[in-house]
Amino acid sequence: MVGTALSGRLTWQLAKVVDVIDETPRCKSIAFEVPDWAGHRAGQHVDIRLTAEDGYVAQRSYSIASAPEDDRLVLTVERLDDGEVSPYLTEELREGDQIELRGPIGGYFVWDEPLGGPLALIAGGSGIVPLRAMVRHWAAGPRDASVSLLYSSRSLRDVIYSDELEQYDGDNIKVQFALTREWPSDWAGHRGRVDQGLLASAIPRPSERTLAYICGPTAFVEAVSQALVGIGHEPGRIKTERFGPSGS
């Protein structure tokens, strides 16, 4: 039974682009129609495979930005200046195009409602993508677990899903932003890098057995992970996913 389910997910299928949404100057969300999509868990990713006319093949993984409850599968892609695949996905791909996709993939960096909380979601740059899927999944459920989302970006124009995330802030969920390179003069969020002091005030105390998910560039993930352990969080309740280098 498990074997069958997995083999379905490992099979490449053609996904059709049904919408392309500008998120930030560097990021686009792409909505897909996937004929045999079996559903997914928040935090999982898909593999994309592109084939050029001369047979050249490139394959990449992208975290799923949509929640299992959403009606379309959505990926959010950041354009890397020297990328091979991201410039194609963010600048060339259009509605009606079909590309090969398989998934969902991943069983470690996932959160679903039964896992409970309190939940600390800490994102650096495009690391927000799988965490946004988790927030959407949380929002579609009973919202029993308390959520603290801390999202670090270089500047205001780099914040993905800013309107959506801002409007979550409220009952049982706290959403905070940090800007590391530039911020408006009236910026009320955190200024500068995420540090131990910010983490201690932003997320529930370790004694509450907080379940933490950290995602973003490697240096960010390692610094935040070490800081959390430093203020007493259990290493076994910290899950991390390191992305490759961010756009410049």
- Under the rule (CB under 8 A), what is the footprint of another protein? 2-3, 6-7, 9-10, 12, 14, 45, 47, 49-53, 55-58, 61, 82, 84, 88, 92-93, 97-100, 102, 105-109, 217-219, 239-245
For the bound state, the minimum distance from the C-beta of residue 122 to another protein, rounded and expressed in Å, comes to 15
Q: How far is the CB of 100 from another protein (least distance, A)?
A: 6
End-to-end CA distance of the chain: 45
Rounded least distance, CB 88 to another protein, Å? 5
Q: At closest approach, how far in Å is the CB of 28 from another protein?
A: 15
Beta bridge partners of 29: 21, 76
Specify the residue, 49 or 174, whose C-beta has the smaller distance to another protein.
49
* DSSP for 164-179, written as a single string: HHHHH-BTTEEEEEEE
Question: Least distance in Å: CB of 178 to another protein?
Answer: 20
Residue 70 or 100 having the CB closest to another protein: 100
Closer residue to another protein, CB minimum distance, 58 or 231: 58
Buried-state track 64-85, b at ≥16 Cβ within 10 A, e below 16: bbbbbeeeebbbbbbbbeebeb
Residue by residue, DSSP assigns 72-129 as: SEEEEEEPPTT-SSHHHHHHT--TT-EEEEEEEE-SSS---GGG---EEEEEEGGGHH
Query: Which is closer to another protein, CB of 10 or CB of 21?
Result: 10
In the bound state with another protein, the residue whose beta carbon lies nearer, of 88 and 189, is 88
Q: Which is nearer to another protein, 52 or 188 (CB)?
A: 52
Q: Are 211 and 237 in contact (CB under 8 A)?
A: yes
Q: Find the shortest distance in angstroms from Cβ 150 to another protein.
A: 20
Strand 45-51 versus strand 190-191 pairing type: unpaired
Q: Which residues contact 243 (CB under 8 A, 6 or more apart)?
A: 125, 126, 127, 215, 216, 217, 218
Which amino acid is residue 8, in one-letter code? Answer: G
